[in-house]
C-alpha cells in the first residue's frame, strides 16, 4: 500500500442558501462563495487528452478511507481519449492553476449517504453499506508529458489529496524488491 487518504468531518451536500448563491452567481456571470468559504463553481471538464499510454491507478475504498494501492502504465493499440462520465471521485491534472485533465469515477457499490429530509437526513429503513464497504477500482488516466500536479478529489466531501506526478510504475518497484512476510500485495 502506498498511501491512505482518510475521511473527515467535511460536510457533503448543499443547502437552500447555496442554491440561491449559485443562481445569483449565474445571473451575474461570476463565481460565488458559500458562507463556509467553499467555492460553488467548479471548472468545466477540459477537452479530453488522447494518449496511447495510460496510467492505471489502483484505488481502494475501505470503511470511508481511500487507499492508493499502486499504479502502472499500459500502452494501447491506438490513442484513447479520456471518457467523460459522472462520479463522486475525480483524478485531476493541473498545469499551474488550470485543470488540463479530469477522470471522474465511482467505487463499485458506493452510494450516497442518507436521504435528505427523512429522519435528519437518514432514512431509518435504509441499510447503510458505505461505512462498512470495501471496494476497489482501476482508474485509467492519460500518460501525458503535460501537467505539474495531480490530485484525487472526493467531490462528496470536497477533500483533495496530492498524488505523485509524474507517476512511477509500482509494479517495477515491487518486482525489484523481495516480498516481506505478511506484507499485503
Q: Residue 162 falls within a domain, yes or no? A: yes
Higher pLDDT, 169 or 4: 169
Q: Output the domain CATH number for residue 54.
A: 2.60.40
Residue 164 resides in a domain? yes
Range of the domain at 79: 3-10+46-176
Are 93 and 144 in contact by the 8 Å Cβ rule? The answer is yes
Give the number of domains in the chain: 1
Task: Please write the tens of the pLDDT for every residue from 20-41.
Answer: 444 444 443 334 444 455 555 6
pTM (predicted TM-score): 0.67
- Is residue 54 assigned to a domain? yes
Q: Judge whether 27 lies within some domain.
A: no
pLDDT tens for 125-134 read 666 667 788 9
Q: For the residues of 1-30, what is the DSSP string, one character each? A: --EEE---S---S--HHHHHHHHHHHHHTS
In a domain, 161, yes or no: yes
Q: Quick: pLDDT tens for 57-93.
A: 999 999 889 999 999 999 999 999 998 888 999 999 9
Amino acid at each position: 500500500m502506498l498511501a491512505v487518504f482518510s475521511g473527515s468531518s467535511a460536510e457533503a451536500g448543499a443547502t437552500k442558501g447555496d442554491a440561491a448563491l449559485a443562481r445569483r452567481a449565474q445571473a451575474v456571470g461570476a463565481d460565488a462563495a458559500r458562507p463556509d468559504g467553499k467555492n460553488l463553481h467548479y471548472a468545466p471538464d477540459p477537452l479530453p487528452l488522447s494518449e496511447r499510454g495510460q496510467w492505471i491507478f489502483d484505488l481502494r475504498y475501505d470503511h470511508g478511507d481511500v487507499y492508493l494501492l499502486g499504479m502502472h502504465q499500459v500502452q494501447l493499440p491506438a490513442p484513447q481519449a479520456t471518457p467523460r462520465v459522472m462520479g463522486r471521485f475525480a483524478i485531476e491534472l493541473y498545469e499551474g492553476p488550470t485543470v488540463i485533465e479530469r477522470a471522474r469515477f465511482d467505487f463499485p457499490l458506493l452510494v450516497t449517504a442518507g436521504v435528505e429530509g427523512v429522519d435528519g437526513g437518514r432514512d431509518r429503513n435504509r441499510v447503510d453499506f458505505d461505512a462498512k464497504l470495501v471496494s476497489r477500482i482501476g482508474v485509467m488516466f492519460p500518460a501525458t508529458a503535460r501537467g505539474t500536479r495531480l490530485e484525487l478529489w472526493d467531490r462528496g466531501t470536497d477533500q483533495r489529496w496530492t498524488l505523485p506526478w509524474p507517476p512511477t510504475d509500482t509494479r517495477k518497484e515491487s518486482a525489484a524488491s523481495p516480498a516481506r512476510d505478511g506484507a499485503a500485495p
